[in-house]
Structure 1
Amino acid sequence: MTQRTVLIAGGAGGMGLATALRFAADGARVILADLPGPKLRDAAARVAGTGAAVLDLPLDIRSVDACRETVARAADWAGGLDVLVNAAGVWLEGPADAVSEPDWDRVLDVNLKGAFFLISAAIPFLAAARGVIINIASDAGLVGNSGAAVYCASKGGLVLLSKALALELAPRGIRVNAVCPGDVATPMIEHQAATYGGDDPDGYKRRLLGHYPQGDQARFIQAEEIAGFIHYLCQPGAAPITGAALPIDFGVTAGY
């Protein structure tokens, strides 16, 4: 990956930042796109601390114009793009009859619409580089989760978007895959537990782990484990892998 350029949307978040650090360790140029603020600046500083070239770009992924501008600025800074990783995401749970239109729009805009328009803008640059697109979907994009219909819709859409684009873009030398993690130990899962766990956020997390086949040995996936897999999928040795939806979930979806 030396001197290849990687654009990571959601690059200041748990999986996004872990992915950035993994690519930076190989000497890649890294562009972090995320909401403006200290979190983005701190993430960029961590990547810069590895010695890698890094650019941080403020991005509201819900805006199509912002997605297009981010890709243009990234490609201008680096002279092109080799890899696009869509790592931005938000979680929503609760009964379907309580979902508001703004709830629906926020989840679909962040998890699906923004990813599509970043990809759309990046296609010419990725075609020139015979590049790779990785969309971080979810195990909830492969199987239904009761009480999370909107999130499942967004991630299921991202999975099929990845498959459709893999077919469309293969003649242009671009590979597209969806990585589908289970529960990952990131600030997002802590936010989930605090938001939806009532007075017992630790109990909320125990209930999540109760779905894992490992029983008492169950644990959350580490962001670095996701990052390592994404890094592998972008290597020349992974050339045959495109159009895949690849679960990393300790086997949670294996029995469906």
Structure 2
Amino acid sequence: MTGVAPAAGLLTGRRVVVIGGASGIGLATVRAAAAAGAAVAVLDADADGAAGAAAQARAAGASACAHAVDVTRETQVADVLDAVAADLGGIDAVLHVAGVMSGQGTDVTDLPLELWQRVIEVNLTGPFLVAKHAVRHLADGHGVLVLVGSKAGVLTGSGSVPYGASKGGLHGLALTLARQLGPRGIRVHTLCPGDIDTPLMRRSLDEARANGTDGAQVARIEAALGRPEDVASVLTLLAAPASAGIAGTVYTG
């Protein structure tokens, strides 16, 4: 499921929230959703980046707003989602792309507890808080929640102990939410990409090198990195009513 741009009009009339929309997969998703006709809210810890992404969406002809948010702060998450619902007149789909990747190449015996806690907080507690406070805005019968995980922690291990654990946990969170929210007509997915060429991934590979990971192995990963736009096209499709028949976990290259 990669390589195809979303059809114009696929998201016409849909109000889509992209969390982590300032860069990488999130920014590509903002662009794709806007091109598909959605009204887009861009949320990110990087306020300037979120504003820039929203400006790109408006330049493409979409209605768009931006809000800064720390997904680990419950009050912020609740307040921002309330504000977005007011800005857009409701929310039809929440695409949670935000995350951190740290500890690449660090042996478990050398892993600081503080690093473990930070990755788990952002990558697992954050999506939980977003789900908790997004649900009251997602309309029964056609709401969509997509949590972006990874093949790491689901199909394979990871070069980072906390990252692999957080993404495995996020997968379990989404499966449980799907079971709980499905009877209300709210569709929940985990989207699990492979290695994608994003600023986050590039920084992670630099960290792996610095922590002693074999340079040839890192080079092989770099040579095979996928495109953010390909993941964004799948996210855009999942946000659309056209995907009503899709259930559960979705994998991309």
TM-score (norm 2): 0.88
Q: Indicate the larger mover: 40-49 or 27-36.
A: 40-49
Secondary structure at the counterpart of residue 8 of structure 1:
strand
Provide Cα deviations, 1:197-234, integer angstroms capped at 9, x if missing partner: 2399974542426xxxxxxxx62111110011111222
Deviation at 1:38, TM superposition (A): 2.9
Q: Structure 1: give runs of 5+ residues left out of the alignment.
A: 210-217, 250-256
Point out which structure has higher relative CO (alpha carbons under 8 A, 6+ apart).
Answer: 2
How many Å separate the matches in 2 of 1:201 and 1:53? 46
How many Å separate the matches in 2 of 1:187 and 1:24? 22
The aligned counterpart of 2:3 is none
Written as runs of structure 1 = structure 2, the 5 A alignment for 1:1-256 is: 1-92=11-102, 93=104, 94-128=106-140, 130-145=142-157, 147-198=159-210, 203=216, 205-208=218-221, 219-242=224-247, 244-249=248-253
The question of whether the paired residues in 1 share the 8 Å contact of 2:191 and 2:250 is answered with yes
The question of whether the paired residues in 1 share the 8 Å contact of 2:101 and 2:119 is answered with yes
How many Å separate the matches in 2 of 1:202 and 1:5? 44
Q: Indicate the larger mover: 64-73 or 187-196.
A: 187-196
Q: How many percent of aligned residue pairs carry the same amino acid?
A: 33
The question of whether the paired residues in 1 share the 8 Å contact of 2:140 and 2:186 is answered with no
TM-score (norm 1): 0.87
The question of whether the paired residues in 2 share the 8 Å contact of 1:194 and 1:201 is answered with no
> What is the total number of aligned residue pairs between the two structures?
240
Structure 1 segments, 4+ long, off by >3 Å, are 199-205
The residue type paired with residue 237 of structure 1 is A
Q: Structure 2: give runs of 5+ residues left out of the alignment.
A: 1-10
